[in-house]
Amino acid sequence: MAYSWQMPDIAAEKDPAKLSPWLFVALFVLAYVIGGAWRLMTWPGGKAVDHSFWLGLLLPAIAWGVLCGCLLAYRDVSQKMVDCWNIQRQRYAFYRQQWAQQHWVVMDAAVLTPEPDLAERLSGLEGTAPENPGKTLPLSLGIDGTQDRATQLLTQLLTPLAASIQAVSKIAPPKIYLQGGGPEDARTLKLVWQQLKLPAPADTVLLDPNAPLLHASQQEGLAPVNVVLSYQLWKGSDDTPTYSELGAALVIISPENAGQIKLQSRTMLMRPIEAPVEQIEDTLTTLLQGRQTDWARLKHVWVSQLDKPTHNALRTALQDMAPTATLHDLDHAIGKPGVAGKWVLQAVAAQMIRHGQGDQLVVGRHGRQAMTCNLVTSKPLLPSSVETLEASLFSSYFFGVLILICAAAGCLQVMQGKPLSAILPDMACFVCIFFSLQIILTVFVLRNVRKQFWQRAFL
């Protein structure tokens, strides 16, 4: 069974209606009207009233009890079916939430943009928010002429992460994902890595500009420790740059490794959802239903490369789902976007988690017609509660019906003047068969309910 964001939200079943006490009263009256008339009509004329007469009048009460027991047993089975369905629904919600909450842990993050302290200024912690819509801004790297710009950029990105890389490398050698540069930048990265005396990496991979986010459903090929370096620098031949310069670096590890190094607080990149840009409201609703985190804690929303209709639709949707969240447009702050924008979004969101700014939502473009949304949090929502006990296979109403049927058989035996002991073996056999059939029927019914539920869940 494969889970996905498109799985249906299955409604809970309601308890069956309770039987009216007046129904039992009406059945009792009916039973004695019919039973009493039958007893009087079949009693031989002139025969003295004896115990057979009174046993005959007892039979309508037994028949009434059997009928009431069957009605109550039917409702009991219906209730067991409802309970079974709702227990499966609880388990389904629990497993879906576990799937949605799969994540990677951001050990550390660094950002370089033309506007210093970008995350703090946009979130209102420091200074004023920068405004550079439509501009193409360069990075101020402080080059002294002895190093090229790529070397200086990689050095400034990796230096603040050196301690974290050293710590996680005790678990496993890091795998480096380089986005934004070519083979020559990979050679530059190797030299910078050696100059900073960082542990030897397991491998260096050039990440495609349209590569999806690293998340728990794409673990194939990922190492336990990953370093993502994403940046965009102007080329020397660019007379008219089409994007602002910026860069981001993140140290990303698996949750298991985060447990090994005993992190006090975890910054989690939750499983993202991809969808067409026209479906922003439905996408956020699906993300909300995934119960990754409490949206009441959502404080900041970071966006990039969204057109005006999508931007407005996002703002409207957030007013209902997270009214206290503030929307920050990266493109409005630092100019025209590029390939590194989506990793800059993840990095600034991770930085705000460390500043105690609540949960963060990241929304960015993926390809031409799609977008990616993911939550960044340190406090995932606790799992849904799940009933541990299945519905009982035994029904007291069936047992009551069984006793009354045996009582009726005994009355008929005595009324015919036969000893009660003559039918005891048959009654014992009947009890065993009836009891076994009741359990088999209940098992079959509940198994069918479970089958129907999971078939609907994984259509």
Cβ–Cβ < 8 Å for 376, 353:
yes
Range of the domain at 303: 103-377
Band of residue 293 on the pLDDT scale cut at 50, 70, 90: very high
Phi then psi for residue 300, to 5 deg, are -135, 140
* Position with higher pLDDT, 366 vs 122: 122
Q: Is 50 exceeded by the pLDDT of residue 298?
A: yes
CA separation for the pair 271, 290 (Å, rounded): 10
Looking at every residue in the chain, the average pLDDT score rounds to 84
pLDDT per residue as tens digits for the range 33-45: 777 677 667 666 6
- Whether residue 60 is found in the same domain as residue 128: no
Residue with tokens 């990149």: 269
Phi then psi for residue 245, to 5 deg, are -80, 140
- Whether residue 269 is found in the same domain as residue 366: yes
| Residues 428-455, mean pLDDT to the nearest whole number | 84
Identify the domain boundary among 346, 377, 408: 377
By percentage, how much of the chain surpasses pLDDT 70? 85
Other beta carbons less than 10 A from residue 170's beta carbon = 11
CATH code, 337: 3.40.47.10
- Whether residue 168 is found in the same domain as residue 211: yes
So what's the pLDDT on residue 343? 92
- Whether residue 306 is found in the same domain as residue 159: yes
Q: Considering the domain boundaries, does residue 39 fall inside one?
A: yes
**Cβ neighbours of residue 122 under 8 Å, at least 6 residues apart?**
129, 130, 328, 333, 348
What size, in residues, is the chain?
Answer: 459
Tell me whether residue 147 is exposed, middle or buried, using C-beta atoms within 10 angstroms of its C-beta: 0 to 12, 13 to 18, 19 or more. middle
**Per-residue DSSP letter, 324:** T
CA separation for the pair 240, 187 (Å, rounded): 27
So what's the pLDDT on residue 217? 45
CA separation for the pair 349, 211 (Å, rounded): 20
Q: Considering the domain boundaries, does residue 49 fall inside one?
A: yes
- Whether residue 136 is found in the same domain as residue 274: yes
Closest Cα to residue 208, out of 252, 244, 177? Answer: 177
| Residues 321-329, mean pLDDT to the nearest whole number | 92
Number of structural domains found in the chain: 2
Phi then psi for residue 175, to 5 deg, are -105, 130
Identify the domain boundary among 327, 344, 377: 377
Identify the domain boundary among 316, 345, 377: 377
CA separation for the pair 283, 297 (Å, rounded): 19
- Whether residue 422 is found in the same domain as residue 446: yes
- Whether residue 143 is found in the same domain as residue 242: yes
Q: Considering the domain boundaries, does residue 12 fall inside one?
A: no
pLDDT per residue as tens digits for the range 225-269: 899 999 998 876 666 888 999 999 999 998 888 877 777 778 999
